[in-house]
Amino acid sequence: MRSETKLAITLLTAAGMTCAQVRAQRNVAIPFAEKISAQERTVNEPSGKTDGVAWLKLAILYQDAARYSNAESAYSKAIALLKTEDRGTFARALDQMGTLYVEQGKFSKAETLERKALEIRQDAKDTVGIGVTYTHLAILSYGQHDLASAEADAEMAASVLIPEHPVHSAESNATPEEQMSALINLSLIRCARGDCDRAIHDLNRALNLAHAHYAINSVPVGLIDFLLGYAHWKNGDDRTAAELMLAGTTEMEEQLGWGHPTYVAALKQYRSLLAQRGKAAEADELRVRIARLEKSPRAAFQTDSTLIGLHQLR
């Protein structure tokens, strides 16, 4: 995948924060490992072995923690169990597994699942679900180097999830996370097409949502601050970029600082900016810190060399 096509996939990586991953931050008091262990116990109980929703929850937790092989297996189990159950939940499982494949660069597999999810949601007139799927299709189109389709899909997602965008967003039934994802994806795609001014505007709207619903040291706030810095960097404002990227990585540190791929990827981008600005000593300190994090046992489950995310931004 060409480096210039990798920008908008940021939300869908380890951070690369899918909507599910952002939603998971509502319960940040429980570490990933504890939440995963608890859900594993649930699906291993007699009643849980045939519970598609329980398997879906476990799959999302695995994905949040960048345990992609485990997530794929759990999604497959969930989809098999949900196929004859509630169509909305089945569509959600298809859509979520599609985001997993996008994160790994498996675009043909992702597209099959996303298109099926969209078809089910359109038949059910599930407005929010349709908007969420278009958010994910925008990232998919982006990864396939089709920027025009990516922007069209991202604009469709924003128009559905944030009605009369950007005037009457309060009227939407979409969650703040779904609205933030739509705005972030749209902004990243616009910036990739050279329109970083509009991207910054949309990221500021997303940041307002994040501040309204999350603590300052939360992943959503930190990620958006970081991406605002990135957009300012690409717009030629290195000083503002450095301030925002530092703020973003600092805010993400509390939840992801153990070595989560998103956090490490953000540090790498911040280090590149420091090096570009001639801050050699600071950049070298970050290099050492990044190397230490990448070797840590907790970071070992980053797993996949095809992981798409912040580390591939250029």
Rounding to the nearest 10 degrees, give the CA dihedral for residues 102, 14, 4, 183.
80
Q: How confident is the model at residue 64 (pLDDT cuts 50, 70, 90)?
A: confident
Q: What's residue 299's pLDDT?
A: 53
For residue 51, the Cα-to-chain-centroid distance in whole angstroms is: 26
CA–CA distance, 121 with 279 (Å, rounded to integer): 50
Alpha-carbon span 263 to 289, nearest angstrom: 12
Q: Is residue 133 part of a domain?
A: yes
Non-local CB neighbours of 162 within 8 Å, separated by 6+ positions:
169, 172, 174, 179, 182, 183
Span 162-184, mean pLDDT?
74
- Residue 314 inside a domain? The answer is no
Give the CATH number of the domain where residue 220 resides: 1.25.40.10
Residue 30 has pLDDT above 50, yes or no: yes
Q: What is the mean pLDDT of the chain?
A: 84
Q: Which domain holds residue 128?
A: 3-309
Of the spans 59-63, 103-107, 240-244, 304-308, which averages the highest pLDDT?
240-244
- Confidence band of 66 (pLDDT split at 50, 70, 90): confident
pLDDT band at 205 (very low <50, low <70, confident <90, very high): very high
Residue 282 belongs to some domain of the structure: yes
Tens of pLDDT, residue by residue over 77-121, are 999 999 999 999 999 999 999 999 998 889 999 999 999 999 999
Phi-psi region of 276 (alpha: psi -120 to 50; beta: other; left: phi over 0): alpha
Q: For residues 166 and 174, is the Cβ–Cβ distance under 8 A?
A: no
Q: Count of residues for the chain?
A: 314
Confidence of residue 163 (pLDDT cuts 50, 70, 90): confident
How many domains, the chain? 1
User: What pLDDT, in 10s, does the model give residues 228-280?
Assistant: 999 999 999 999 999 999 999 999 998 888 888 788 889 999 999 999 999 99
What was the pLDDT predicted at 116? 98
Q: What is the mean pLDDT of residues 51-70?
A: 92
Q: Which of 111, 142, 193, 61 minimizes the C-alpha distance to 309?
A: 142
More confident residue, 170 or 239: 239
Residue 216 lies inside a defined structural domain of this protein:
yes
Q: What is the pLDDT of residue 149?
A: 96
Query: How many C-beta atoms lie closer than 10 Å to residue 58's C-beta?
Result: 27
Q: Which residue has the tokens 């078809």?
A: 119
DSSP state letters, 272-297: HHHHHTT-HHHHHHHHHHHHHHHHSG
